[in-house]
Amino acid sequence: MSRIAVIGAGLAGLTVAAELQAAGHAVTLFEKSRGPGGRCATRRSAAGPFDHGAPGFVPSTAAFAAQVQDWQRAGWVAADPSAGTGQVIGVPSMNALAQQLASGLRTGLDLRVETHVAALEPGAPAGWRLRLLDGRLDAGHFDAVAVAVPAEQAAALLAPDASLAEAMRLTRSEPCWTVMVAWSDPWTAPVAAWVATDHASVLARVHRDDARTGRPALAGSASRWVLHATPQWSADHLDMAPADVIATLTTAWAKALGVRLAPPVHAAAHCWRYAQVPDARAEPCGWNESLRLGACGDAWHAAGDAAGSQPGGVERAWLSGRALARQIALSVSLA
């Protein structure tokens, strides 16, 4: 049985792992944080959970739409008209989709959480060993490696292939400051989801988490809102103190609605340094046949079904993960 290492348990890495396991390969999935999901993230708090990464996605290709229908039948995602036409969200939270994908993988998946891969080293006589951030060399010996992390972080891991590494270095992700805020009174804004329609300089969009499809009612809970700053404002204020980010975004929100907001019962901020890729690469994924080293994630697969269309980040992660898994399955024999 061939052994494949997948680095990163976001939607792209989970997709590679699922496809390769189904094809009979032995997969080890390395994830630096405490659980799978990556930017399909949910933050727990005393006021309830917040989907503070991707708030949802809109399938655009026929292949992804068919996959989403399967997830919908399984109850892992649901349509959420409150967020906009065609929007789909994880149920009961965005991170639940990744949790379901991870647990739905065939038993035997070796998922190593809190394991940060720092570098790839050649194995002997062939293949790969993984150097971890704490300096240890992982015991595994792998026939192929799939790197499924944001482009800027992938560049270092892909150093053994100078052109793949350069492709990732040239790919730019935009940052996003995100504020999670809750009010205990039954405060209702005139909208449940709001997207800036003018050239707003601070806020890009806002959604009300507790009112979304499939969110369980929490007794006595607050109304929970997630505010996203624009990429430009986020880039200009990467080092701002979280308390100042919270104040700036909530003030901009109140101004946009023309209301006075009471002090919130909960407020937190998170800076996504690599939130979204505005210009993904055209190739479905990256693959070096002789090194048996590949890359996938939202930096890849810019092409949709229709000419000129670009699928969203969640969809690109899935499409490119699937493309890389198929490439690896063609190249690496099961024996």
Ligand X SMILES: Cc1cc2nc3c(=O)[nH]c(=O)nc-3n(C[C@H](O)[C@H](O)[C@H](O)COP(=O)(O)OP(=O)(O)OC[C@H]3O[C@@H](n4cnc5c(N)ncnc54)[C@H](O)[C@@H]3O)c2cc1C
Contact string 154-183 vs ligand X (x = CB under 6 A): ----------------------x-x-----
According to the binding rule CB under 6 A, does residue 248 interact with ligand X?
no
According to the binding rule CB under 6 A, does residue 294 interact with ligand X?
no
According to the binding rule CB under 6 A, does residue 284 interact with ligand X?
no
CA distances from 88 to 54, 75, 120, 160, 168 (A): 11, 12, 36, 38, 29
User: What is the smallest separation between the CB atom of 185 and ligand X, expressed in angstroms?
Assistant: 27
According to the binding rule CB under 6 A, does residue 304 interact with ligand X?
no
According to the binding rule CB under 6 A, does residue 59 interact with ligand X?
no
Q: Applying CB under 6 A, what is the total number of residues that bind ligand X?
A: 37
For ligand X, which residue of 5, 18, 21, 30 counts as binding (CB under 6 A)? 30
User: What is the smallest separation between the CB atom of 47 and ligand X, expressed in angstroms?
Assistant: 19
Residue 65 one-letter amino acid: A
Identify which of residues 160 and 184 has a Cβ nearer to ligand X in the complex. 160
For ligand X, which residue of 25, 39, 129, 301 counts as binding (CB under 6 A)? 39
Contact string 102-131 vs ligand X (x = CB under 6 A): --------------xx--------------
According to the binding rule CB under 6 A, does residue 8 interact with ligand X?
yes
According to the binding rule CB under 6 A, does residue 234 interact with ligand X?
no
User: What is the smallest separation between the CB atom of 204 and ligand X, expressed in angstroms?
Assistant: 9
According to the binding rule CB under 6 A, does residue 225 interact with ligand X?
no
- With 0-12 CB in 10 A as exposed, 13-18 as middle and 19+ as buried, what is 264? buried
What are the structure tokens assigned to 46, written together? 């005393």
Identify which of residues 110 and 334 has a Cβ nearer to ligand X in the complex. 110
Residue 266 main-chain phi, psi, to 5 deg: -150, 135
According to the binding rule CB under 6 A, does residue 31 interact with ligand X?
yes
According to the binding rule CB under 6 A, does residue 298 interact with ligand X?
yes
The residues, ordered by sequence, that sit 6+ positions from 276 with a Cβ below 8 Å of its Cβ are 173, 174, 176, 231, 298, 313
Q: Are 216 and 92 in contact (CB under 8 A)?
A: yes
According to the binding rule CB under 6 A, does residue 150 interact with ligand X?
yes
User: What is the smallest separation between the CB atom of 115 and ligand X, expressed in angstroms?
Assistant: 6
DSSP assignment of 96-127 equals HHHHHHHHHSPTT-EEETT--EEEEEE-SSSS
Q: Are 147 and 7 in contact (CB under 8 A)?
A: yes
- How many whole angstroms separate alpha carbon 227 and alpha carbon 50? 11
For ligand X, which residue of 4, 6, 7, 111 counts as binding (CB under 6 A)? 7
According to the binding rule CB under 6 A, does residue 54 interact with ligand X?
yes
User: What is the smallest separation between the CB atom of 285 and ligand X, expressed in angstroms?
Assistant: 11
Q: Are 78 and 50 in contact (CB under 8 A)?
A: no
According to the binding rule CB under 6 A, does residue 99 interact with ligand X?
no
Strand, coil or helix: what is 165? helix
Q: 39-43: which pairs have CB atoms within 8 A and are 24 or more residues apart?
A: 39/10, 39/272, 39/275, 39/313, 40/10, 40/11, 40/90, 40/94, 40/95, 40/97, 40/98, 40/314, 41/94, 41/95, 42/93, 42/94, 42/95, 42/96, 43/180, 43/268, 43/270
Residue ranges in contact with ligand X by CB under 6 A = 7-13, 30-33, 38-40, 53-55, 57, 116-117, 148-150, 153, 176, 178, 228, 272, 275-276, 297-298, 312-315, 317
